[in-house]
Amino acid sequence: MAQYAGFCKGVKRAIDTAKDIGNEYGKALTLGPIVHNQFVVDYLAQFGVGAIDSIDYLDQVEKNTAIVLRSHGVGKAVYDRLEKEQIQYVDATCPFVKAVHKLAYKAYTENKDVIIVGDPTHPEVIGILGWTDNKGYVLKNADNIKDLPKLNRDIVVVAQTTQTDENWKEITNTLKDLYSNIKVYNTICKATSERQSAAIDLAKEVDLMLVVGSQSSSNTMKLAKVCNNQGATTYQIESVADINKNWFFKNMTVGITAGASTPDWVLKEVIQMTEELLNEVNDLKKIEKGEVLKGTVTKIEDNQVTVDVGYKYEGIIPIGELSSLHIETANDAVKEGEQVEVEVLRINDEKSKMILSKKAVDSKNAWQTLQQKYDDKEILEVTVADVVKGGLVVDIGVRGFIPASHVERHFVEDFSDYKGRNLKVKIIEFDQENNKVILSQKVVLDEELETQKKNVIVNLEPGAIIEGTVQRITDFGAFVDIGGVDGLVHVSELAWYRVDHPSDVVKEGDVVKVKILSLDANNERISLSLKSAQPSPWDEINKKFSEGQIAEGIVKRLVSFGAFIELLPGVEGLVHISEISDKHIGAASDVLEVGQQITVKILDINTDEKRISLSIKQTIEPEPTQDNEIDLQKINETTTYTFGEMIGDKLKDLK
């Protein structure tokens, strides 16, 4: 604490006077705020003391209201008006200020030029100037000297009581060099210079200076300025509410001073709060570079994130330290309120600056867990962060890459809609040294399919009829998907009739019913039959055909011993070469050709062996002979049997 700080005698006297007047009369008005400190103004309001901005508002003042002239003082014209209008007033002008008034007025009345070193807008300076009938000159700094007119008369120089010695000396030394007819009166108040000297001494010894007082208080501002000039980090505060705990760090020293208009109770609160915060930071464990901390995201900006790690000030994660992947904005990596683990990259308590990295912690944790997952061949759930040439990029604490060939089981031409998708993957290559992790979804899909296949196969029974989808057609048959596993329908099992090519019966995508013929779980071979899932034309052959019946058929194949005739799709009968013609023929092809429509007689049906014996020649009318001549006219008139049926056996006898 500075040796001299807080209320000066002049301010204390003015405040006590106003308070007493308020207490005695119940109301009083000051000309302008009593001091430049709202806490004091509020305090006096409790005693009925208010303020008017200017003497120009006097006519609006209630009768019998006492006017208090504050410590800053007023010009002669104000006194004259108060006297003239017989307004009651109490003069609380600081005696030191009054002394300056006297000097200025004397010089003015002695026809001398008066120069006031001070702030031309400050009420005290306006008051002093008023004692020169506003004919004096005000110099705020040495630069203003050049604006002075040519001064030929004797000159008297006075100071605003709260001026700094430094400014005063600079201006008066320059004036003395310029003018010989000059008399200089250092009217800087001792209270002001004492406070400034004490503040300077203190500022030299501490890390941080707190200067307590209103932002509009001239002497407080000057205190802050002289402290700053000593190189101490200086904050001008009005009350405890302005204190920022981030200003404090472990083992620091803090100096406190206060302007002449700062009330004791405000100063005490600041001292108390400062002590508490110093104790707090001194008890805080010091954070070191490289430490890993847990924190909460409190603010997200485009290029950085603020994190509260429970320290006296918050840390910053630059966007480049958020993720191992490229991200556009910090929002892509974290959300406000999210708990994060971070590593301290840099820390500077004096500047309250802590740079953190989430990426570093994520990366370290990730390599450890990834090694374990790789060893255990564990499945990871990841989200596609980016689509790049050659594959997909995912964030697994480190950058993970899924080559295009390892994304799906099938070829994918365009991955542009994969960004944001969730995938199940396995690590197929792990190289921490080279910062390389290669992942595969295809491996997971393959394994899932294998498992699915096994489950499907286990639940299948030979003989069962199930539904499937034609996946692929080859020359030797069709592969049918029966729930994740493909079975083969051999070309011979596609239909009850002879099939030249599988595509004559099915096409890819057809949903078909198939019968399971056999299962080989070990080799995952499943034989299926399409035709066995449908009724066999042989099942009802005896209902459709009978021995001796004449039927129509198509020559399907010619062989050395005869010809196969298709009676129904899937039902063929054999015409032995001896049953083709009643004339001698060398081969079936002598009289028949494939595809030819032909009339046959059914000689024999053997359903067990699925054989039908046919005859062509028995359907042909023989050359009429004497013995065997038949009265066809008569037959046609007496029966409804067909000609073939009628003569079948007789022709047989002619062999």
Query: Which residue ranges make up the annotated binding site for [4Fe-4S] cluster?
Result: 8, 94, 189
Q: Does the protein bind ligand SF4 through residue 97 (CB under 6 A)?
A: yes
Residues 6+ apart with CB under 8 A from 284: 250, 311, 312
Q: Which of 1, 9, 91, 401 binds ligand SF4 (CB under 6 A)?
A: 9
Q: Which of 128, 158, 171, 189 binds ligand SF4 (CB under 6 A)?
A: 189
Nearest distance in Å: CB 10, ligand SF4: 2
The CA distance from 141 to 292, in Å, is 53
Residue with Cβ nearer ligand SF4 (9 or 557): 9
Q: In one letter, which amino acid is 36?
A: H
Size, binding site for ligand SF4 by CB under 6 A: 14
Catalytic residue among 62, 124, 621, 623: 124
Sole window of 9-17, 26-34, 61-69, 519-527 interacting with ligand SF4 (rule: CB under 6 A): 9-17
CA dihedral sign, ordered 416, 420, 424, 426: positive
Nearest to 398 by CA among 446, 347, 364: 364
DSSP string, 211-244: EES-TT-HHHHHHHHHHHHTT-EEEEESSGGG--
The CA distance from 495 to 531, in Å, is 5
Q: Can you read off the two tokens belonging to residue 288?
A: 């070191």
Residue with Cβ nearer ligand SF4 (8 or 392): 8
- Cα separation values, 211 from 134, 172, 582, Å: 34, 28, 137
Residue 232 near residue 209, CB atoms below 8 Å:
yes
Q: Does the protein bind ligand SF4 through residue 96 (CB under 6 A)?
A: yes
Q: Which of 65, 132, 161, 172 binds ligand SF4 (CB under 6 A)?
A: 161
Interaction residues for ligand SF4, span 234-293 (CB under 6 A): 260
Nearest distance in Å: CB 199, ligand SF4: 14
Nearest distance in Å: CB 19, ligand SF4: 16
Q: Is 143 exposed, middle or buried (0-12, 13-18, 19+ CB in 10 A)?
A: exposed
Q: Which residue is nearest to ligand SF4 (CB)?
A: 10
Q: Does the protein bind ligand SF4 through residue 163 (CB under 6 A)?
A: no
Q: Which of 37, 192, 193, 440 binds ligand SF4 (CB under 6 A)?
A: 192
Binding mask 624-653 for ligand SF4 (x = CB under 6 A): ------------------------------
Nearest distance in Å: CB 32, ligand SF4: 14
Residue 549 near residue 568, CB atoms below 8 Å:
no
Interaction residues for ligand SF4, span 48-77 (CB under 6 A): 71
Residue with Cβ nearer ligand SF4 (12 or 515): 12
The three-class DSSP label of residue 443 is: helix
Residue with Cβ nearer ligand SF4 (193 or 304): 193
Phi, psi of 533 (to 5 degrees): -85, -5
- 378 classed as catalytic: no
Sole window of 187-195, 205-213, 290-298, 403-411 interacting with ligand SF4 (rule: CB under 6 A): 187-195
Nearest to 91 by CA among 137, 45, 134, 28: 28
Sole window of 90-98, 126-134, 558-566, 594-602 interacting with ligand SF4 (rule: CB under 6 A): 90-98
What letter would DSSP give residue 592? -
Sole window of 8-16, 61-69, 574-582, 644-652 interacting with ligand SF4 (rule: CB under 6 A): 8-16
| Binding annotation for isopentenyl diphosphate | 36, 72, 122, 217-219, 261
Sole window of 6-14, 16-24, 209-217, 324-332 interacting with ligand SF4 (rule: CB under 6 A): 6-14
Strands 422-431 and 380-388: antiparallel
Residue 303 near residue 318, CB atoms below 8 Å:
yes
Residue 600 near residue 545, CB atoms below 8 Å:
no
Strands 486-490 and 525-529: parallel
Nearest distance in Å: CB 357, ligand SF4: 53
Residue 231 near residue 132, CB atoms below 8 Å:
no
Sole window of 3-11, 139-147, 367-375, 529-537 interacting with ligand SF4 (rule: CB under 6 A): 3-11
Residues 6+ apart with CB under 8 A from 629: none
Nearest distance in Å: CB 162, ligand SF4: 6
For residue 524, how far is the Cα from the chain centroid?
47
Give the angle subtended at the CA of 376 by the CAs of 374 and 379, to the nearest 5°.
Answer: 70
Nearest distance in Å: CB 189, ligand SF4: 3
| Binding annotation | 8, 36, 72, 94, 122, 161, 189, 217-219, 261
Nearest to 373 by CA among 467, 281, 444: 444
Residues at the contact surface with ligand SF4, assessed by CB under 6 A = 8-11, 71, 94, 96-97, 161-162, 189, 191-192, 260
Residue numbers annotated as active site: 124
